[in-house]
Amino acid sequence: MVITYIYWLSTILLAILYLSSALIYIIKKEWVTKTILEFGYPSYLVPLLIILKVLAIVTILSRINIPLSDLAYAGMLFHLMFSALAHIGIRKSKGAIPALLGLVLLILSFGTQNIARDLPSPYGFIPTKVMIDNT
């Protein structure tokens, strides 16, 4: 039961982090574009990241398709790692804090999903009873 609470709390906090980030990208577009350019990335990534952040959260929360949900987790993992490294790389380490927090939430969410959700992922850290019986 505790693992179910950990899953939902970490997943909801991760969703809030990603949705608020997408909102900041919309509201402060000029500042975000300037920051993206400082990292050496092209400015056309800003609208693409807005769309992908929202779609990733929708995919994980709706869990329409397990492989697609796992792919969204993988995409978020790479995004958060590269975001943290980009901030550290330009000597703005404080900017990496949300990404590092997101990584912790992502690991908790992904690792506990098989206990909290009806349909298990074959890649979750904690096997479910169904997965143990079928082996």
pLDDT for the residue 47: 95
pTM listed for this prediction = 0.85
pLDDT for the residue 68: 94
Contact 96, 84 (CB under 8 A): yes
pLDDT for the residue 31: 94
pLDDT mean values, one per 10 residues, the chain (135 residues): 91 97 95 90 93 96 92 95 88 86 95 83 64 50
Nearest Cα neighbor of 107 from 1, 11, 4 is: 11
Residues 31, 36, 38, 42, Cα dihedral to 10°:
-130
pLDDT for the residue 14: 97
pLDDT for the residue 16: 97
